[in-house]
């Protein structure tokens, strides 16, 4: 065939071939183009009417851009070659006997009909008939992933491909283009959409590089380069985004939405060469096309079955250390592409226990393995193990799992820096601050307004209130969607200048704003922080005090203009109710209280000056004496403080400030009350009255240094300021919803052994900072049965744990919880329910309930009393605490059972 085959001729040709070779081929239309042309795909396999267990699926897609014609034509040649050589050539026969092959010569038949033969560099016919570039029309993980609607945003051709990919278990694929000579592998877009030179690797980068290399080296010229091309690529391969950013590309969506690994093949520097070049183009690509299909069989493949040998559909196959999973087909079969090496492979399924096998993928390319999973209804739900987000596109991109999260995929989160090494290259190249000056209120206001105007796509300037003298308490929000909480995205805050004369934090926060704004598009690490986090920065909580402060003066301006120390003005955990009600608080304090309790902040730092240390709760003690005062999350707070201290060049050296030789802080951190007691401090208030974990950072020995020293302060604090911020992405996160899909706000999240609760936000999302380790975590909500899970919190990014709570069918009664309570029957023969007990929201409101309907209460012996305590401790762990205060002469423990909103915490000054 020495000419290009247009649509009508192609249709007749494919029908004729599939009729002639009906035992091994079938013609499918997976959809229609804008102008009604069928999107033909030829299926080729030995048992054409069967789904063979263990046989992988492969596809080639050509002519996505209508004017890039070489791919279309070589795929037509390939269809003919495979069909005609089955049972004649052993290699072709083996391919067809062992692989379910699909070949789509043209994804854009309308565009092809509009293109012109011989047009090497033009764009006529590139888009579809609606003028849309189909390789920019898919959902993009870094751009419109959460808002993409398949019915409204996808072109007919795009929609057909998405549904085809979703509904099939393709293992490997290639998308054939023209205009260059290279094998391009995912990801095609980067998190900040920088046009060129920003690589965006997948978790399977080594596999994709191998696949691209196979095609490039088997192609006659791709790996060597073509002198007629204006671009040359080492080895003939490139990461797509490093070449140029392609938001909405097809190869990325194959990887993100399905089991399929896809690369993009640019086959010719001329997009639509004249037909006399077709024979040589087929010769260049033939071996590469066959070799690439053969790669479908490499890696690990096999079956996942239950303990009785029954196949398990949609079991997850996870490779340790690679944040991308595949799932099993209906016969329990799976295919997981891997390069040669040793791996730990896990198979997991809902209602079954995970099984791990150590495997070696040999240099010959593949290994077979079978998993048998024991039934275990208490095993973690499978969504806890999914390390990537998959979505059900049939319902306008609603999530495939129960999570409604608008959170980003792991490929984006993977850029978040957790160490100095992660930021080494950024700091060496990023746009650095050049001006280091002090900013008074007016100058600070102008600075913030300028950045809000200059970067409206990621910033919003707002005020949470006014100071005593009427100055605004400014906050600059930095986020990819400023002005709103995104479900699943954690919120972080920095507060500076609480003491007006402690100014280093104020200036460091202005510099932090600057570097985040000017660098977020240029560096994936900064872009990932901005895109994944809703950041709130308040440079000055005490602007009035600042205006009174003087350089070098340690006292003037510390308090607000009412001479009140704002860090002694918050409600304290040891204040009596009368004290809390009667105290008149400052407007700055009231504004912060409202702000803290109205937003789902997860992590925070309050920046002070006068020492060099990271200080963590608690700040107060029951008797007001200096002593270590542990919070329930003491180990976590220590680690958070160490994160800041260890990132600072000298803070962890434990050197005292001049004139304070007795103040030496081991590793640069301290428990607040062990240093000195603070009644009414802000960090304790954050922890006790919100979900937010806050530490206090003393930025340096001098409270108000000269401006020429600000540069050195910035050099010391830029790394810890950024790394502390990224700690918000650790621990465990997820959503709590009802079994009918309702998002549950104010649901309670508790962790066994840690007497501190957090609550879900309005969208049912929660974040619980935790150190790596094994925990039992529970979600509870009023009117629903609670749910417990055992989890393993990893190092690095937070584990996703979602809860689905079932509505309580009948309210539990005291007689149900305590079987030894005997009720007196009513005249109708039914026992009266008394004293209904349910989980309650915080704050707990107790309504009087009067017990009636019982003739008597039974006595409890020692064992019954212990059971009584255990029943209630388990059912109401959020408001109860059981402690032993000693033993009887016969060795029985004497128990005290506490019922309180914050059970287990001493309550000096409160009625008990």
Q: Which residues form the catalytic set?
A: 266, 698
Quote the CA–CA distance of 69 and 526 in Å, as a whole number: 40
Does residue 371 contact residue 347 with C-beta atoms inside 8 Å? yes
Quote the CA–CA distance of 529 and 726 in Å, as a whole number: 7
Q: Who contacts 681 (Cβ-Cβ below 8 Å, separation ≥6)?
A: 567, 568, 570, 572, 619, 620, 672, 696
Alpha carbons within 13 A on the beta-carbon side of 144: 15
Does residue 396 contact residue 149 with C-beta atoms inside 8 Å? yes
Closest CA to 109 of 23, 41, 192: 41
Longest dimension (CA), the chain: 104
Q: CA angle 343-344-346, nearest 5°? A: 135
Closest CA to 767 of 570, 534, 595: 534
Quote the CA–CA distance of 302 and 331 in Å, as a whole number: 10
The separation between CA 13 and the C-alpha centre of its own chain, rounded to angstroms, equals 48
State both tokens at 624. 């007001």
Quote the CA–CA distance of 891 and 682 in Å, as a whole number: 45
Q: How many other C-beta atoms lie within 10 A of the C-beta of residue 901?
A: 13
Q: Who contacts 59 (Cβ-Cβ below 8 Å, separation ≥6)?
A: 41, 101, 102, 103, 104, 170, 172, 173, 260
SS3 285: helix
Quote the CA–CA distance of 373 and 394 in Å, as a whole number: 30
Quote the CA–CA distance of 666 and 653 in Å, as a whole number: 8
87-124 burial by CB neighbour count: b if 16+ within 10 A, else e?
eeeeebbebbebbbbbbbbbbbbbbbbbbeeebeeeee
State both tokens at 132. 């849309």
Q: What single-letter DSSP state applies at residue 763?
A: T
SS3 174: strand
CA torsion, ordered 376, 378, 383, 384, to nearest 10 deg? -120
* E strand or H helix that includes residue 184: strand 180-185
Closest CA to 249 of 188, 299, 172: 188
Quote the CA–CA distance of 402 and 802 in Å, as a whole number: 7
- Cβ-in-10-Å burial (0-12, 13-18, 19+) of 292 comes to buried
- Helices 90-98 and 70-85 cross at an angle (nearest 10°) of 100
What Rg, from alpha-carbon coordinates, does the chain have?
32
Quote the CA–CA distance of 129 and 655 in Å, as a whole number: 71
Does residue 38 contact residue 83 with C-beta atoms inside 8 Å? no
Quote the CA–CA distance of 545 and 507 in Å, as a whole number: 15
Quote the CA–CA distance of 509 and 494 in Å, as a whole number: 8
**Could you give phi then psi for residue 88, rounded to 5 degrees?**
-110, -35
- Could you identify the residue written with the tokens 């079938």? 26
Quote the CA–CA distance of 75 and 69 in Å, as a whole number: 10
């Amino acid at each position: 065939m020495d000419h290009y085959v247009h649509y009508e001729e192609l249709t007749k040709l494919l029908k004729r071939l599939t009729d002639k070779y009906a035992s091994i081929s079938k013609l499918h239309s997976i959809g229609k183009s804008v102008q009604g042309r069928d999107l033909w795909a030829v299926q080729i396999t030995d048992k054409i009417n069967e789904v063979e267990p263990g046989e992988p699926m492969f596809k080639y897609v050509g002519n996505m851009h209508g004017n890039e014609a070489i791919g279309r034509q070589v795929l037509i040649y390939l269809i003919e070659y495979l069909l005609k050589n089955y049972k004649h050539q052993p290699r072709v026969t083996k391919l067809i006997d062992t692989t379910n092959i699909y070949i789509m010569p043209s994804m854009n038949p309308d565009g092809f009909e509009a293109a012109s033969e011989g047009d090497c560099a033009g764009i006529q016919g590139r888009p579809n008939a609606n003028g849309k570039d189909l390789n920019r029309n898919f959902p993009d993980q870094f751009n419109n992933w959460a808002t993409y609607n398949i019915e409204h945003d996808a072109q007919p051709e795009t929609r057909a491909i998405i549904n085809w990919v979703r509904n099939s278990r393709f293992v490997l694929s290639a998308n054939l283009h023209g205009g260059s000579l290279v094998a391009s592998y995912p990801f095609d877009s980067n998190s900040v959409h920088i046009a060129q030179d920003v690589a965006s690797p997948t978790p399977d980068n080594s596999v994709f590089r191998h696949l691209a290399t196979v095609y490039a080296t088997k192609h006659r010229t791709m790996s060597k380069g073509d002198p007629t091309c204006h671009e040359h690529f080492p080895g003939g391969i490139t990461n797509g985004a490093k070449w140029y950013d392609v938001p909405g590309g097809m190869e990325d969506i194959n990887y993100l939405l399905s089991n399929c690994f896809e690369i993009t093949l640019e086959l010719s520097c001329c997009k639509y060469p004249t037909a006399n070049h077709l024979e040589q183009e087929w010769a260049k690509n033939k071996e590469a096309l066959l070799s690439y299909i053969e790669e479908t069989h490499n890696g690990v493949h096999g079956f996942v079955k239950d303990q009785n040998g029954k196949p398990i559909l949609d079991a997850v196959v996870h490779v340790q250390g690679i944040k991308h999973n595949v799932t099993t087909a209906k016969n329990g079969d799976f295919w997981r592409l891997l390069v040669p090496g040793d791996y730990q492979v896990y198979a997991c399924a809902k209602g079954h226990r995970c099984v791990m096998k150590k495997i070696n993928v040999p240099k010959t390319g593949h290994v077979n393995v079978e998993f048998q999973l024991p039934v275990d209804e208490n095993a973690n739900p499978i969504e806890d193990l999914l390390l990537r987000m998959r979505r059900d596109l049939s319902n306008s991109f609603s999530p495939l799992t129960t999570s409604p999260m608008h959170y980003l995929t792991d490929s984006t989160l993977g850029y978040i820096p957790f160490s100095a090494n992660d930021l080494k290259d950024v700091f060496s190249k990023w746009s650095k601050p050049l001006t280091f000056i002090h900013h008074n209120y007016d100058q600070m206001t102008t600075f913030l307004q300028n950045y809000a105007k200059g970067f409206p796509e990621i910033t919003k300037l707002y005020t949470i209130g006014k100071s005593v003298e009427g100055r605004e308490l400014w906050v600059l929000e930095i986020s990819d969607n400023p002005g709103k909480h995104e479900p699943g995205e954690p919120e972080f805050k920095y507060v500076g200048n609480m003491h007006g004369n402690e100014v280093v934090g104020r200036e460091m926060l202005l510099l932090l704003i600057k570097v985040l704004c000017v660098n977020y598009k240029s560096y994936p690490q900064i872009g990932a922080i901005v895109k994944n986090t809703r950041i709130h920065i308040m440079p000055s909580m005490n602007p009035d005090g600042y205006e009174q402060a003087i350089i070098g003066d340690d006292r003037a301006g510390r308090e607000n203009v009412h001479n009140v120390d704002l860090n002694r003005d918050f409600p304290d955990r040891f204040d009596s109710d009368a004290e809390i009600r009667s105290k008149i608080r400052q407007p700055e304090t009231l504004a912060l209280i409202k702000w803290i309790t109205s937003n789902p902040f997860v992590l925070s730092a309050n920046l002070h000056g006068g020492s060099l240390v990271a200080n963590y709760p608690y700040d107060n003690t029951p008797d007001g004496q200096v002593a270590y005062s542990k919070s329930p999350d003491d180990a976590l707070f220590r680690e958070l403080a160490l994160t800041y201290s260890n990132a600072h060049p000298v803070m962890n050296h434990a050197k005292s400030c001049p004139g304070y030789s007795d103040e030496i802080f081991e590793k640069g951190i301290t428990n607040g009350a062990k240093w000195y007691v603070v009644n009414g401090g802000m960090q304790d208030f954050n922890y006790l009255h919100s979900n937010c974990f806050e530490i206090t950072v003393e930025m340096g020995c001098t409270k108000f240094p000269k401006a020429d020293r600000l540069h050195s302060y910035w050099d010391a604090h830029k790394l810890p300021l950024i790394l502390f911020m990224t700690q918000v992405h650790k621990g465990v996160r997820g959503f709590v919803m009802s079994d009918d899909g309702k998002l549950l706000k104010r649901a309670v999240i508790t962790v066994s052994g840690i007497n501190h609760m957090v609550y879900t936000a309005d969208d049912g999302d929660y974040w619980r900072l935790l150190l790596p380790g094994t925990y039992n975590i529970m979600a509870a909500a009023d009117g629903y049965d609670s749910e417990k899970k055992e989890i393993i919190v990893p190092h690095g990014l937070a584990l996703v744990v979602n809860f689905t709570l079932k509505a309580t069918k009948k309210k539990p009664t005291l007689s149900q919880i305590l079987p030894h309570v005997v009720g007196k029957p009513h005249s109708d023969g039914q026992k009266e329910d008394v004293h209904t007990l349910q989980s309650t929201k915080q704050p707990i409101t107790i309504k009087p309930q009067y017990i009636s309907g019982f003739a008597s209460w039974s006595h409890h012996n020692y064992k019954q009393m212990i059971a009584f305590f255990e029943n209630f401790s388990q059912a109401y762990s959020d408001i109860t605490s059981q402690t032993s205060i000693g033993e009887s002469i016969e060795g029985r423990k004497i128990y005290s059972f506490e019922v309180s909103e914050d059970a287990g915490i001493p309550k000096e000054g409160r009625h008990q």
